[in-house]
Amino acid sequence: MARSVYVTGIDRGDGRQAVELGVMELLTRQVDRVGVFRPLVHAAAPGQPGSDHVVELLHGRYRIDLPSAELYGLTYEEAAALQAAQGQDELVSVLVDRFRALERRCQAVLVLGTDFADTNIPDELAFNARLANEFGAAVLPVVGGHSEDPEAVIAEVRNAYRAYTDLGCETLAMIANRVAPGAKQRIQRGLTETLPIPAYVIPEEPALAAPTVAQLVEATGAEVLLGDAAGLARDVRGYVFGGAMLPTFLDALTEGALVVTPGDRADLVVGSLAAHAAGAPPIAGVLLTLGQHPGPNVMALAARLAPGTPVAVVPEGSWPTAATLTHLEGKLTAASPRKAEIALGLFELHVDTAELTNRIEVGRSERVTPMMFEHELLERARAGRRHVVLPEGTEERVLRAAEILLRRNICDLTLLGEVDAVRRKAASLGIELPQAQAGADRAQVRIVDPTTSPLRRQFAELYARLRAHKGMTVELALDVVTDVSYFGTLMVQEGIADGMVSGAVHSTAATIRPAFEVIKTSPGASIVSSVFFMCLADKVLVYGDCAVNPDPDAQQLADIAIQSAATAAQFGVEPRVAMLSYSTGTSGSGADVDKVRKATEIVRQLRPDILVEGPIQYDAAVDAHVAATKLPGSAVAGRATVLIFPDLNTGNNTYKAVQRSAGAVAVGPVLQGLRKPVNDLSRGALVQDIVNTVAITAIQSQDHSDHSDHSDRTDHKEPQA
């Protein structure tokens, strides 16, 4: 039977969607078949099927391989009719049958309780408790603390605990959500002292309560005149109603505000967009009232001033529009992935996820899916937070990845680039880069301009010493170190940052050449190489070298194999190394096969503890049936996890073929053999690729600090901007 968790509450406005998302994240880290079930759901209109924005978010985000209709029980309308005709017992029986049908196909199920919003269910708390008991699910009650004083929140949580316990529920923990940040410690202390189970306190996060421009457009029925998807996804953190003259109006603008003004005020439209373009301050968008469209010249100027910034129009005047906007709150939907990252970051920061996972008691799956591997990367990086420098500070994908990394508390970051340019670019994308705060428990970000940083002289002197044998002088080095790749590499060398990730817009050579010159190879490594983690449907394989060395000789190939085995083990993949060739065993000969055969012998001599087989063909390495014929009795054949290609041509083409044809997630390239971690990105890297690579870099840094002399580094030394 699947282990089920029933997230429920006691009233509206508790913000439990963030908790539901957090619990789903925990479950998908442990098992690969997780279901979600909403027993009762609102229908868009009477007689129509129901749908729910949280269910749809979880269904898409976690790639639940089940039809959407199977994730719901009944609509509230159907439930009311059934209960009126046949009683609550029959209603519960039908819901249990539908839940069991889903449960049989899953290893764990997250159940989303009723939302206490126009449900017409008498004693809704008791109804949720009964469903949880009938489903055999442990409950996780969430109590909202918005605008409540600490004593009231403590009392509400204690009362909810007693209510669910008295109704026979197994209660995992209690969560007080949306509490005033200043009251968190007082509430946490009060609950810890009075409850026999864990209690977690999550503070209010304004970014979650803020609606997006898209949600506002939907609520008001506005017509979008300008704006792209990224602009519509911006959070609306306030409203500025335009009526004053332009100079006074500009003084009233605030960051993230939505400008609401009559459509005939071209001066306010152009002025607010010009202020946004200058980053003083960046706004969420413009909403025009009274159904008036600005003229084509004004709209053309608006499009040039702030590309992507939404401009929409509503038929109503300012007063009815304001009444609609006042009651809008943000919600988690599939169309707001940024809010999902914010919610997860908040949950992971304030909930002891290891403790809660243990209490849920979900046995870890033996299969390792791509999602589970990615989750593990983020969790390990977060557990020993490091500092990573990203040289490409104005690149959109890097900024979006940075926001995720910061929100999820994965690592501290330094973005390189001209400070105002980085902040303007972030603002234009609706990305918030908070100012660094000393002693904060959240991940921090700093923006450093290499051309103006006080570190420039120090780095130039260091680089001149390192490259003196090549004729480098301090004067020349002062120019070299303004290159962001060199500046970032020198930050790593000096221990100001723990690792570097670049390559979204720079070439591989531009990224790793500074590392070769400054950081150099680690002791015992004769070569720098790379691996890809190939996340297949049910396992993770390691491919090397697919990105750096065109035609390694036997000694270099052996070194690549040894490095790759170590990297595999570092990331939880048991190394069984296959030295690939077009021939298996002794069946072939020739220079190419002989190189692989010699490399295999070198690995066995240098590292007899590593399981290695070669030369071996790919099919014999990964397919047990082929292996039984070609290499019976081999400890590696048919079970290989680390596959070493004889040259770059073979490796690069193979990883791309598997990635595209088998739908594998390729994480990498991950560089190995350097004394400190520097990693390269593909110039086609997606945002999630960048997030994963930064997490890998942070983990490599953790391993370096655990196994090296700490005299050459300073943990989290703050750069001077």
CB 496 within 8 A of CB 717: yes
Report, as an integer, the average pLDDT of 84-98. Answer: 90
CA distance 621 to 617: 6
pLDDT at 176 over 90: yes
pLDDT at 516 over 70: yes
pLDDT at 346 over 70: yes
Q: What digits encode the pLDDT tens for the residues 538-553? A: 788 999 899 888 999 9
pLDDT of the residue at 440: 64
Residue listed under structure tokens 């014929």 = 629
pTM for this predicted structure = 0.81
How many other β-carbons are positioned within 10 Å of the β-carbon of residue 652?
A: 18
pLDDT of the residue at 118: 67
Work out the burial of residue 455: count CB atoms within 10 Å of its CB; fewer than 13 is exposed, 13-18 middle, 19 or more buried: buried
pLDDT at 707 over 70: no
DSSP characters for 246-263? HHHHHHH--TTEEEEEET
pLDDT at 367 over 70: no
pLDDT of the residue at 243: 79
pLDDT at 715 over 60: no
pLDDT at 717 over 60: no
DSSP H helix total and E strand total for the chain: 29, 23
Q: What digits encode the pLDDT tens for the residues 241-288? A: 987 888 888 888 888 899 999 988 888 989 988 888 877 788 889 999
Better pLDDT: 177 or 116 = 177
pLDDT of the residue at 339: 85
Q: What digits encode the pLDDT tens for the residues 589-607? A: 778 899 999 999 999 999 9
pLDDT of the residue at 432: 77
pLDDT at 22 over 60: yes
CB 407 within 8 A of CB 344: yes
| Proportion of the chain above pLDDT 70, given as a percent | 95
159-164: long-range contacts at Cβ-Cβ below 8 A with a sequence spacing of 24 or more? 160/10, 160/125, 161/195, 161/197, 163/10, 163/125, 163/129, 164/8, 164/125, 164/129, 164/139
Which of 63-72, 185-194, 207-216, 319-328 is most confident?
185-194
Among 126, 93, 95, 124, which Cα is nearest to 111's? 95
Domains plus CATH for the chain? 3-208 (3.40.50.300), 211-326 (3.40.1390.20), 367-520+682-721 (3.40.50.10950), 527-673 (3.40.50.10750)
